[in-house]
Every structure is written in structure tokens, then in C-alpha cells.
Amino acid sequence: MKAIIEKLTPKIQQVFTYLHEHPEISWQEDETTTYIHDLFARENCKVTTFSNSPGLIIDIGSGKPIIGIRADMDALWQEVDGTLQANHSCGHDAHMSIAIGTLWTMLEKMKRDELQGTFRFIFQPAEEVGAGALSFVEKGIVDDVDFLYGMHVRPKEELGFGHYAPAIQHGAAKFIDGEIRGEDAHGARPHLNVNAIEIGTALVSHINQIHLNPMIPYSVKMTTFHAGGKNTNIIPGKATFSIDVRAQTNEVMEDLTEKVYAIADMLSIHHHVPISLKTSTEIAAAVLNDEAIHYMETAIAQTVGKEKLKKTITTSGGDDFHFYTIKRPHVKATMLAIGCDLQPGLHHPNMTFNYEAIPTTIEIMSKVLWNTASNYKG
């Protein structure tokens, strides 16, 4: 496979350059979808797009097992050098390039060697808003999938360049939007309303007093709060806010969520003011499979050697990839952690990484697909 990838490398570099220079935010990845579709429209594969959503799947081969590889497509919307714009600061341009390179590699490999099985390449929209995987689950994309592999570039301080881990133990994340719906009052008459800012202060105080098992990482914090306007002699009765909730397990996330909602209900009753909460985005903690991890470990060792094979990465960050296994428990899955000198950090507007990691990762992903199919027992 190495020789195939070396020949494809200039072509893959062109793909990465295009994707990096044409970022699109969640649910708007239409040009990216068209670009990937056109790359494979004349290849020996089945390309499926959707009338109601960006994203696509590409199948090659036939029969069982069905082994998937998922790449997320969307960019972030953020300020870069003073300009608000779409920006690939989470590495999804790299993930798509790796999946495309792996698809080309597998097409070439299957011309030379016969192998029973179907390889499904899933280009998924809207990972950054935690909704793309769920939408693809609802479309039935993984209903017949046996194994599913994902990938993610990792920060330099977490994983050194050229090193790989066979799994990422992501935590759960939940973003809750809230609203306090009271009435304004004159600054000289504080007895006529309840100050929404004071309610917000009480909310922060109470969520900071949530205590759960300290052996399992978790956090709850208010990340936005908006109340009042241009007139400083008005006591605001209304406010909107957001709460960021994180936990290493789905069970702890359930406990945290219950406590946050209970606190809001308590304050609402105490102050006689309606307080509403609504989950805007939810990402589940990882559910990983030992068999899939074993195949990934083998592919890493075959490609870069056992000395560069590292243990599972544990991170409080989240990824909607894990909804595939939670909603469809028969799917055996893991996510490759890629050491690529990524700095200064994920989601930093000027994030960079070492492109040389891409061809090596393509080799790992190609081998894990091939090895999984070769050893499938049904």
C-alpha cells in the first residue's frame, strides 16, 4: 500500500489544499459535497448524496462485512486575523483528505487483490454542532455496518508527531440555552421586580456547588449571559444565558443535567419568575469496541512500529461520532488519534499541523480496513 500512497500523494495534497481553502460551516457543506462527488463520479464505486442534506457516502466492494470510515466535513465560524469567516481549525479538512486518500488507495489495492467485503466512506456534515451523526443514523447509513472507524488530529502536547493511539475516549458535552422572563423596573424601585442579573449570579453560585464523584472528570459553567441594554437606570427583568456541561461518562452527564435543571426550577419558584432551559447541542461520551481497537492497534504497529503505538487518548472534548455506536449498538467502532504537531490548539483560529502525517495516516486507515475485512468471521 505504501507504493500506492506515494504515487497518490501529490493528488492528495491538491485535495487538501482545495478543502482547506474552501471551508463551509455546519449544514452548508454543499460545495464540499459536490467536490467530493465529482472526484469519484467516474470511479468504480457507488456514490450516494441526499436531497435534504449535504454530505455523501461512497461504497466500494460488495458483500459482508460492511466496514465504514467516517470523515467530518464542516468548518468553524470564527474571527481570523480580524475577519469573521469559516475556518478549518479543527482539522476536518485533514480528515476528509485522509478518507479520500484511503478510498483511492483501496480502489487501487482491490484492482490487484481480491477481498470480500464492502467499504463505506461516510462524509458527514455538521459535526461541530453535534447533529450530523444523528441525522445520518436516521437515514439508515450505518444500519448494516459491522465496523466503523473514525479519526481526529490531536494537539502536540497530547500526542507527539508520528505517534498514534488506537482510540479516543471522548467525554460527553451538552450546551444548554436558558432564559429568565421577568419584567423591567426603574433603578430607584428595586422592590418592583427581580433583577435578572442577580438571578444569574445565584445560578452561577449554585452550579459551582454541584459535587459529584471526583474520580470522574466533569465541569459545569455559564459561558454567556446577556441582560440589560443602553439605559443604566433600568433593572433588567429578562436575560438569556448558556451553560456548558461536560462529563467523561454518559451516566455522569445525566446526573449533571438533572442537577442543573433542578437548580433552575428552584430559583424560578423562589423568585416567582419563569426560567426556561433547552438543550441546544448534545454530544455523547465514547462507546468503544475492543475488537475494533485491536484491528487499529495492529494497523498502527504495521505502519509505524510498536514504539509509536500509544495508549488510548482520554479527553474531555467531544465528538458526535459516538452517536453511531450509541444509537446502533451492533456497530463496532473506534477513532484513531493522529499525532501531527498540531498547535497552538484545536479551534484556535491559526491552528496548524504537520501535513506529512496525512500519507502515513492513509496507510494506517487502509490497513485497518483491509485487516478487518480479511479477519472477519461473520
Residue ranges per domain, the chain?
2-171+286-374, 176-283
Question: What pLDDT digit, counting tens, does each position of 81-137 carry?
Answer: 999 999 999 999 999 999 999 999 999 999 999 899 999 999 999 999 989 999 999
Output the nine-digit C-alpha cell for 215.
474520580
- Reference 299, options 336, 353, 330; nearest CA is 336
Question: What pLDDT digit, counting tens, does each position of 28-84 carry?
Answer: 999 999 999 999 999 999 999 999 999 999 999 999 999 999 999 999 999 999 999
Identify the CATH number of the domain defined by range 176-283.
3.30.70.360
* Distance separating alpha carbons of residues 349 and 86, to the nearest angstrom: 10
Phi and psi at 55, nearest 5°, equal 100, 160
Output the nine-digit C-alpha cell for 81.
486575523
pLDDT band at 317 (very low <50, low <70, confident <90, very high): confident
Looking at 3.30.870.10, 2.60.40.420, 3.40.140.10, 3.40.630.10, the CATH number of the domain 2-171+286-374 comes to 3.40.630.10
* Distance separating alpha carbons of residues 19 and 35, to the nearest angstrom: 9
Residues 6 or more apart whose Cβ sits within 8 Å of residue 373: 61, 65, 67, 115, 116, 117, 119
Q: Fold match between 2-171+286-374 and 176-283?
A: no
Question: What pLDDT digit, counting tens, does each position of 218-230 carry?
Answer: 999 999 999 999 9
- Reference 147, options 325, 362, 299, 326; nearest CA is 325
Residues 6 or more apart whose Cβ sits within 8 Å of residue 133: 70, 124, 127, 320, 321, 322, 323, 324
* Distance separating alpha carbons of residues 288 and 297, to the nearest angstrom: 13
pTM of the model: 0.88
Residue 316 has what pLDDT? 80
- Reference 257, options 287, 285, 238; nearest CA is 285
Torsion from C-alpha of 164, 311, 333, 62, nearest 10 degrees:
40
